[in-house]
Structures are given as C-alpha cells and as structure tokens.
Amino acid sequence: MAYNGHKNWNQWNVSLWINSDEWLYGMARQFAKRGPTREIAAQRLLDALQEFNQYKTPDGAPYTKTALLNAMRKL
C-alpha cells in the first residue's frame, strides 16, 4: 500500500514534517546543499536531530536515515 507516493506510513509522515515544518525544512536544505551525497546529508540530518533529542515526528514516526533520505530527495 502506498502513502501519497511513499513506500510506507513512516516515510510519508517524516516527509510531511520535513517539508512542512520551517525549522526542519531549513535544516534539511542546509544538509542537502552541503552534501556531498544525499545519503551523507540524510545521516548528518539524523545525527543533528538526535543531538536535539528529536527521535520521532510529533505523530510518532521515527526519524530513520531511509525516511530522511526519502524526504530530502527533492531538496
């Protein structure tokens, strides 16, 4: 079952928050710009979120490297 074009609910929910929350979106864009690859950018964003004790979206979807990578694919 697809969730608005995403593989699963977790990836959809993380993408929803990354692309809707100004603070998260700004962080994701900065990491995407600094690259060198999307995978490294997603890992750096995950590390930064964990430094702020952010492990899940407000809806309870865990931030994972795969979910963040998917959310950042169009940045």
pTM across the whole model: 0.91
Which residues, other chains included, contact 8 with Cβ-Cβ below 8 Å and sequence gap of 6+? none
Of all residues in the chain, what percent carry a pLDDT higher than 90? 87
pLDDT for the residue 35: 87
Which residue stretches of 1-75 are H helix? Answer: 9-20, 22-34, 38-51, 65-71
The answer to whether 27 touches 45, Cβ cutoff 8 Å, is yes
Average of per-residue pLDDT across 50-57:
97
Alpha carbon distances (Å) from 61 to 30, 34, 64, 69: 22, 26, 9, 14
**pLDDT exceeds cutoff 90 at 75:** no
Average pLDDT, the chain: 94
> Has residue 23 got a pLDDT over 70?
yes
